[in-house]
Structure 1
Amino acid sequence: MQTTTEQPTTEPAALDSLLASARRAEAWAKEPFLWEGEDPVVSLAPGTSRRRALDEALGEITGGHRQPSAQWRTRFGLMLGLERVLSEDLPRLASGTELRRHQVDALAGMLTELIAANEESSGPNGNGNGEDVAELEEEDEEEPGEEDDELEAGYVGEDPGAVRRFRFRHPTASGKTIAAAGFVEAAGSLGVLILTHRRLLVSQFTRDLTAEGYGDRLVPVVERGRTPPSASPLTIQTYAWFARHAGDIERSAYQLVICDEAHTALGEKTSAAIRSFPEPLYIGMTATEQLIAKQVSDVFPASVDDLPLADAARRGLIAPLRCLRVPPAAAISSVPIVGGDFEERALAAALDHQALNQAAASLYRDRFDTTPGIVYAAGVEHAYNLAQEFRAVGLKAEAVSGKTPPLRLAETLAAYERGEINVLINAMLLAEGWNSPRATVCMHLAPTASRRVYQQRIGRIMRIHPRKEAGIVLDFTPKSATHNERVVSLHSLLDSDFYREGARVTPAP
């Protein structure tokens, strides 16, 4: 027996009224409710997310709101903005930069979650009573770039903002900053707060977002009681600042918080600050799901996209990686592992000797010569001692650390980009966030027992550059080392069994 599918019908007068309401709401919300070629009867059918956005917009307009409330923008603004961006055949930023497939996937995953949330329930999101959480007690400001090392115990209290916190995982060097800019583009009618873990990265985000066409939205933090300079302010700050001042932010100013390197937001103070500011949507970006015993999902429960490193390599999104193994000259079997990695002082005591430093410098010169690279040392003093020996063998090398004055650091990194310096030596300052496509060699003079740290380190050489055929990882580990060793290697990270000197370890595009 044949069956028929009934199509919704609408009287012409009712259809005209619906179209007029959509146009009125679009002018008010600064986001379209209908797209060319769409059937309004279908797209704005009762119960759909867009119809709910329209109905609540008309309710606010009738109630005298000249612009959308913070609650309406949080619930519907990003959803409509994502639909706007993704409606294009080739989604672009304000500058014209095209989003790549995996970046589009992150935006599309977020849109799917927001549509589902708005169609499942007509009430506001939240799993608590929605009351303001008490402000954080004032604490001493952390040094810029320091992680909140004190991990919170399993959180068991009310968390009204948990349903508005999402995450996506893309490998280092695959373009998470451009993905973040995609969310900024979609949040054209929202206030956006971007959090990152180093002052250096605040400057980098500012520079990159300005280059992508969003510089006119950049403003300092909107403090409590102040009126935002526009409906869509864009502010960039550190987690350390946020952990101290979350209670001082004007809560109606920001509807979207983007958390860069979200695994660094899992510490007790930072995660408590996030929970104390539950009203906005949160998007956590990370290359790793874990920080020691904590998972990114503990703070950012819902995943909207996940791109494994091997898949990124197959797609040609990152530079291929080759590996060289050098038998270690120093024994570190007695160095304890504390908090998931080798204890820094004990590791430095084992490695920071003039003869070893000279041997490392000669090895780099003989194998790589002027090839640009980055060297990881066992602490600040070790980094400066290594730099001295590298320069002694004729290499253009400099050491940087958290103690390097900001102006000096900026000048050194700029000199590296210009080719006036070829080797940067550091302990952990440049393990996350810093970008330099010309960096080709990653030398692990200080081994690590942390898969997270290792992955962040090699991410510095995974950016594609016209003159770089592949990134080269130098592991100080026996050539016959297995995945059970305490020291992480490129092969153990990627679960690759067979080592061949200089061979590609990541999959071919």
Structure 2
Amino acid sequence: MKLRDYQQLARESIQQQWDEGVKKTLLVLPTGTGKTIVFSKVIEDRVKKGERVLVLAHRGELLDQAADKLEKSTGLKTATEKAEQTSIGSWYRVVVGSVQTLQREKRLEKFKKDFFDTIIIDEAHHCISDGYQRVLNYFDAKVLGVTATPDRGDMRNLGSYFESLAFEYTLPKAIKEGYLAPIKALTIPLKLDLSAVGQQAGDFKTSDLGSALDPYLESIADEMWKVAKDRKIVVFLPLVKTSQKFTEILNQKGFRAAEVNGESKDRAEILEDFENDKYNVLCNSMLLTEGWDCPSVDCVVVLRPTKVRSLYSQMIGRGTRLFEGKTELLLLDFLWHTERHELCHPAHLIAENDEVAQAMTKKIEEAGIPLDLEVVEQSATEDVVAQREEALAQLLADMKKRKRKLVDPLQFEMSIQAEDLSSYVPSFGWEMGPPSEKQVKTLEKQGIMPDEIDNAGKATKLLERLDRRRMEGLTTPKQIRFLEQRGFEHVGKWPFDNAKKMIDRIAANGWRIPQGVNPKEYSGE
């Protein structure tokens, strides 16, 4: 099997990391871009070197898929370490193992610590859990973690375990290069109140979510009929009972809906019927987030709001694969009302940061029509950059002012108790015009911030007062600013020389107030 360019690059990058002495490395590939094919080829490379490889996963379907893909793409057969099945005594070089089985002490101890040379973790965002860590810490092996997203539900960073990111292929790049379907997002104008929903393990409590959603299910079904009745839809819900209830409502509205859950005895049959278009909506309570593919899905409805990007990406990933006649994936988003702002929205699939994601979410909400995520991201990024540049220009201007140490005219007027200046209102035409360029320069030179003086009359009066004070030997604006910042009062009435002496004393004392001087009581004499 010939790999795509990015798949081959990923394969080489992983081997390079190990060759350079990095033992634990990570591969990030979006759902639908062939992560199983890539790690199958990596396994083939290791087996050719005479190594033994363990593929570790937390669900039986993932192990079966890995074994199947590995054999189809490389010809390598596998032994299984799961429940009553064991790989002990097998001559196969590759073992697919269930973490639930292998984490048991008795099971682990049947293996030597150096039995496996390489361990591959499928859906690596789960690997920080205690069960995985028990297995990974037991074996002395190189490790490759494979995930569609590097986020982790309990907010502990995967970087706490992995030493490097060998390769990452982004969702926008996969769409741009034609390997995944374009994504359009539409915000449904229903306000769903989640403010009373509790928290558990870093995300919303599913039991609370079910209760919070119930009052809205009829309205959601009506909105879905308006915008997606002709689409092939997967709906994710928080609870089995909510999923079953919503399926009934959808069927009443005219959809052909089915529901699957962990207890469904006819699950395989329902999934096959959905694939063959007997149903056009499939509802589930988080059962189909991993290990299930149906490329013809062209609409995903997330009624299980989450703060966990890995979970959100897994749900959306059920609809990103290419299929003949499929032009795009439609994501239906809702106006979730929550006390918290970390909720995942379609924007989080491609936005580089939260600032851009927020701007994108706002644009999608305001549009009222499906918008292409890439187009919105470009527009939102431009807006955010423009806002940043504006804020930066303001910051630079403020810094310039601070650097010049100019005095706010109001501070100066209050210090010298010049009520005639602070209450001044221009009367004549020339007074109402802006200060002249010469006035602005002179005010700056004398230590006054000219930006706050918006008319020529005030500038004239202020300059006259400054001239008079200079002739009378009183404090300058800069002296006033310096001393009042350090707690001295009514510095505007001090003689220039007295202020200079105090500033010199402070400077000689390491810019600290000299001992025995109380700024509040010091009169400046």
Partners of 1:107 and 1:399 in 2: CA distance: 38
Residue number in structure 1 paired with 2:497: none
The question of 1:489 aligning with 2:348 is answered: no
Counterpart CA distance in 2 for 1:411 and 1:248 is 38
Q: Distance in 1 between matches of 2:272 and 2:9?
A: 33
Q: Tell me the CA shift for residue 445 of structure 1.
A: 2.0
Q: Are 2:232 and 1:372 aligned?
A: yes
1:414 aligns with 2:282: no
Contact 1:219-1:235 at 8 Å conserved across structures:
yes
In structure 2, runs of 5+ residues without a counterpart are 379-525
Contact 2:237 2:303 in 1 (8 A): yes
The answer to whether the Cα contact below 8 Å between 1:263 and 1:295 also exists between their aligned partners in 2 is no
Give the corresponding residue for 1:111: 15
Identity %: 24
Paired residue for 1:289? Answer: 150
Inter-partner Cα distance in structure 2 for 1:191 and 1:110:
17
Provide the residue aligned with 1:457 in structure 2: 315
Query: 1:224 Cα deviation (Å)?
Result: 9.1
Structure-2 separation of matches of 1:113 and 1:242: 27
- Residue from 21, 30, 34 that aligns with 1:175: 34
Work out whether 1:502 is the aligned partner of 2:370.
yes
Shift of 1:269: 2.2
- Structure 2: how far apart are the matches of 1:260 and 1:226? 22
Q: For the Cα contact (< 8 Å) 1:322–1:472, is it kept in 2? A: yes
Give, as a single letter, the amino acid of the residue that structure 2 aligns with 1:112. Answer: Q
Correspondence 1:476 to 2:337: no
Match of 2:372, SS?
coil
**Contact 1:399-1:426 at 8 Å conserved across structures:** yes
What SS does the corresponding residue of 1:326 show, helix, strand or coil? strand
Q: Does 1:399 align with 2:226?
A: no
How far residue 492 of structure 1 moved from its aligned partner, in angstroms, is 4.3
- For 1:225 and 1:349, how far apart are their aligned partners in 2? 45
Number of matched pairs: 358
Alignment of 1:45-444 (within 5 A): 97-117=1-21, 163-189=22-48, 190-214=51-75, 217-221=77-81, 226-230=88-92, 232=93, 234-244=94-104, 245-249=107-111, 253-278=115-140, 280-291=141-152, 292-353=154-215, 356-405=216-265, 408-444=266-302
Whole-angstrom distance in 1 between the partners of 2:134 and 2:123: 17
Match of 1:16 in 2: none
- State the alpha-carbon separation in 2 of the partners of residues 502 and 445 from structure 1: 18
Alpha-carbon offset, residue 483 of structure 1: 13
* Structure 1 pair 385–99 and aligned structure 2 pair: CA distance change class (3 A): same
Deviations 1:41-94 (A, max 9, x none): xxxxxxxxxxxxxxxxxxxxxxxxxxxxxxxxxxxxxxxxxxxxxxxxxxxxxx
What's the CA shift for 1:225?
A: 10
**More helix as a share of residues:** 2
Is the CA contact (8 Å cut-off) linking 1:395 and 1:423 kept in structure 2? yes
> Any idea what SS the aligned residue of 1:235 has?
strand
Shift in CA distance, 191/414, structure 1 to aligned 2, threshold 3 Å: farther
d(CA) in 2 for partners of 1:410 and 1:180? 27
359 and 297 in structure 1: CA distance in 2 versus 1, 3 angstrom threshold: same
Shift of 1:437: 0.9
SS at match of 2:103: helix
**Change over 3 Å in CA distance of 1:260–1:225 after alignment to 2:** closer
Do 1:370 and 1:395's aligned partners in 2 also have CA atoms closer than 8 Å?
no
**How many Å separate the matches in 2 of 1:374 and 1:220?**
32
Following superposition, the deviation at residue 377 of structure 1 comes to: 0.9
Q: 1:406-457: per-residue Cα shift (whole Å, max 9, x none)? A: xx22222222222222211112111223222111111012322222221221
Residues 151-182 of structure 1: per-residue CA shift (max 9 Å, x gap) = xxxxxxxxxxxx52221111222211111222
In structure 2, the residue matched to 1:154 is none
Q: Structure 1 residue 268: deviation in Å?
A: 1.6
Amino acid paired to 2:28: R
Paired with 2:278 and 2:330, the residues of 1 have a C-alpha distance of 21
1:461 Cα offset (Å) = 1.0
Normalised to the residue count of structure 1, the TM-score between the two structures is: 0.65
Change (3 A) 1:273 1:218: closer
TM-score by length of 2: 0.63
Shift of 1:198: 1.6
Tell me, what secondary structure is at the counterpart of 2:330? strand
> CA separation of 1:225/1:370 partners in 2, compared to 1, >3 Å: closer, same or farther?
closer
CA deviations on 1:301-349 (whole Å, 9 max, x unpaired) are 2221122323333222321110010133431112123322211111111
